[in-house]
Amino acid sequence: MFIKYLANRTGQALLVLWAAFTASFVLLQLLPGDAILIKFLNPELGLGPQEIADIRAAYGADTSVWQQYQHTLLGFLSGNFGYSVQAGVPVSQGLATNLPPTLRLAGLGSAAALLLAVLLAFASQLTRWGWLRSALQSLPSLFISVPVFWLGIMLIQVVSFRLGWIPVINPGKWQGLVLPTLTLAIPIAAPLAQILIRNIDEVLTQPFVAVARAKGATRQWVLWKHVARNAVLPTLTIAGVLFGELLAGAVVTEAVFGLNGLGSLTQQAVGNQDTAVLQAVVVVSATAFVFINLVVDLLYPVFDPRLRSRLGT
């Protein structure tokens, strides 16, 4: 039963991935706006039609659509993402140098976001003052409405220029990551906190909470021992969506703070109409999204025993 479920979910995930690849190929490689022509039709280069045709042949752009599709698909499967026309290097090389800094930023950002969201949700539950509670609970809807790039600029303005806590020029390696991490974390903490607050409110109405309270447990004890696990679990289901937000946030954050990474790579690719790079970024992010969702689906029964019996394992 479980094996069947596993195979079913994995098959679905692969199908979505294949479709994402095909859609991005059709959108980015077949439609007009040819990256090769944009670069080499430049009059300053003074290339004749024959030379351009040769360059196109070297990039494999003169073959039929179907051949290009097969070639690109096989390439992606073997980790060869094609050539960046503008930079003149393999796309995989650009990904290899730019992925680690973005992963580090995203890792720090998601950890900070989780911490912020949990603190906010539980603090708003534990506080005894109504005004503080409603103030804390309205914070997420405020943070959701803040443009990420503006938040970053405001943080630089206040923390670096007004308070002078973090130098703008040549901050330490980890010191320089503080503001980008906050910029990335705050907008992602907001939806997380909203869901947590809603889940906690929902779980608090359950009969077992009333039983625990009737037995004499304190509010704090009930919150940590009975409510926390039940409320935190459902937030796992939006991990994939939050990853997408994280990636989009990283693009903007890297632009604001002038950091190197996947975001600046994407920004350059769009600026130069380097479609091969953008397709690689799109496919890599879709892969991560599908993979995260698959892992969450498979891990959910491990964390939640009630689902295990339903699956029959």
Partner 1 sequence: MTTTSSTASLGAFTGTAQPTPHRFERAVAAPAAVVVPTVPIPAAPPPRAHSGTWGRRLVQRARRAPISLWLAWGVLALVALWAVAPGAFTSYSATVGVAGQQLQAPSAAHWLGTDALGRDGYARLVFGAVHSLSGAFLAVAVGLVLGTLLGVLAGSIGGWVEDVIMRTVDVLLSVPSLLLSLSIIIILGFGTLNAAVAVGVASVASFARLTRSEVVRVRRSDYVEAAFGSGGRFGAVLWRHVLPNSLTSVIAMAALQFGSAILSISTLGFLGYGAPPPTPEWGLLIAEGRNYISTAWWLTTVPGLVVVAVVLAANRISAALTKGRA
Q: Which of 14, 15, 41, 115 binds partner 1 (CB under 8 A)?
A: 15
Measure the CA–CA gap between 20 and 25, rounded to whole angstroms.
Answer: 8
Alpha-carbon dihedral of residues 173, 244, 123, 232, nearest 10 degrees? -120
Query: Whole-number minimum distance, CB 63 to partner 1, in Å?
Result: 21
CA dist 267 → 100, 176, 200, 250 (Å): 17, 21, 39, 11
Rule CB under 8 A: is residue 42 a binding residue for partner 1?
no
Query: Whole-number minimum distance, CB 289 to partner 1, in Å?
Result: 5
DSSP state of 172: -
Q: Residue 93, SS3?
A: helix
Residue with tokens 């077949």: 30
Rule CB under 8 A: is residue 133 a binding residue for partner 1?
yes
CA dist 170 → 109, 174, 176, 281 (Å): 21, 11, 8, 29
- 195-199: list long-range contacts, CB under 8 Å, 24+ apart: 195/234, 195/235, 195/238, 196/117, 196/118, 196/120, 196/121, 196/231, 196/232, 196/235, 197/120, 197/121, 197/124, 197/125, 197/137, 197/140, 199/230, 199/231, 199/232, 199/234, 199/235
Query: Whole-number minimum distance, CB 227 to partner 1, in Å?
Result: 17
Note whether 149 and 255 are within 8 A (CB): yes
Quick one: which segment of 27-35, 39-47, 76-84, 298-306 binds partner 1 (CB under 8 A)? 27-35
Query: Whole-number minimum distance, CB 239 to partner 1, in Å?
Result: 11
Residue with tokens 């960046």: 84
Query: Whole-number minimum distance, CB 29 to partner 1, in Å?
Result: 10
Rule CB under 8 A: is residue 106 a binding residue for partner 1?
no
Rule CB under 8 A: is residue 241 a binding residue for partner 1?
yes
Compute the C-alpha angle 71/76/81, nearest 5°: 90
Residue with tokens 């890297």: 254
Interface map 154-183 toward partner 1 (x if CB under 8 A): x-xx---x----------------------
Rule CB under 8 A: is residue 213 a binding residue for partner 1?
no
Quick one: which segment of 112-120, 217-225, 263-271, 304-312 binds partner 1 (CB under 8 A)? 263-271
Q: Which of 146, 210, 211, 299 binds partner 1 (CB under 8 A)?
A: 146
Rule CB under 8 A: is residue 278 a binding residue for partner 1?
yes
Quick one: which segment of 17-25, 93-101, 169-177, 209-217 binds partner 1 (CB under 8 A)? 17-25
Quick one: which segment of 51-59, 205-213, 219-227, 241-249 binds partner 1 (CB under 8 A)? 241-249
Q: Residue 83, SS3?
A: strand
Rule CB under 8 A: is residue 56 a binding residue for partner 1?
no
Q: Which of 8, 42, 97, 141 binds partner 1 (CB under 8 A)?
A: 141
Beta bridge partners of 83: 90
Q: Considering beta carbons, is residue 57 or 241 the nearer one to partner 1?
A: 241
Longest dimension (CA), the chain: 87
Name the site residues for partner 1 (rule: CB under 8 A).
Answer: 15-17, 19-20, 23-24, 27-28, 31-33, 130, 133-134, 137-138, 140-142, 144-150, 153-154, 156-157, 161, 190-191, 194-195, 197-198, 238, 241-242, 244-245, 247-248, 251-252, 255, 266-267, 269-271, 273, 275, 278, 281-282, 285-286, 289-290
